[in-house]
Amino acid sequence: MRIYLIGYMGSGKTTLGRELASKLRFSFLDLDKYLEKKYFKTIPQIFEEEGEAAFRLKEQACLHEVSEFEDVVVATGGGAPCFFDNMDVMNRTGYCVFLDVDSEELASRLMESKTERPLIKGKSPDELMDFIDKMMEKRRPYYERASYIVSGTNITPEEILVRIE
Ligand code: S3P
């Protein structure tokens, strides 16, 4: 059994994923970290040296691998559901939970960690809000293919468990 947490950067996939996995006694896997280990490079390095398209291919390959793991909660990268057949793979091999956090909250969380995220590096608060809104519009149709949607600024693992059970 696999649970995939999907949603925008800063929606809390990693933090919630860890908590959820420990409650379910599942393993926790962060797809970005898995990718960095597999290719011996950080994500910013891959974006810089090889470009986004190369990163997306690697991300897809990693997703295919982890979709065969048992009893795992996977925190995916924010863009993962929006490329190739990734959403089909996740829906076929597990339950997808979309963490739907509003863009103002995302922007304030991301202001603190934007240096590690190549897509938003160097943006001012206003630029960031605008970027999030525009990208959310494109990504939402993919995210909404999840089995469950949980929203709010304070999503708890219990809330997700209730839905899944
Ligand atoms: C990305 C999100 C990142 C990472 C990469 C691209 C995106 O993951 O995969 O920088 O396209 O939204 P997080 O959502 O964990 O920040």
C-alpha 151 – ligand 1 centre gap (Å): 19
The answer to whether the CB of 75 falls within 8 A of the CB of 12 is no
pLDDT in tens, 1-47: 999 999 999 999 999 999 999 999 999 999 999 999 999 999 999 99
Å from CA of 1 to ligand 1 middle: 24
Q: What kind and span of H or E run contains 17?
A: helix 13-24
Ligand 1 surroundings by CB, under 6 angstroms: 9, 32, 43, 77-79, 117-119
What is the domain extent for residue 64?
2-164
Residue range 78-100, pLDDT digits in tens: 999 999 999 999 999 999 999 99
**CATH (domain of 54):** 3.40.50.300
Residue 147 confidence class, pLDDT cut points 50, 70, 90:
very high
6: left (phi over 0), alpha (psi -120 to 50) or beta: beta
Question: Which ipTM did the prediction report?
Answer: 0.98
Report whether 103 contacts 129 (CB < 8 A): yes
| Domains: count for the chain | 1
Question: Measured between alpha carbons, how far is 160 from 147 in angstroms, rounded to an integer?
Answer: 11
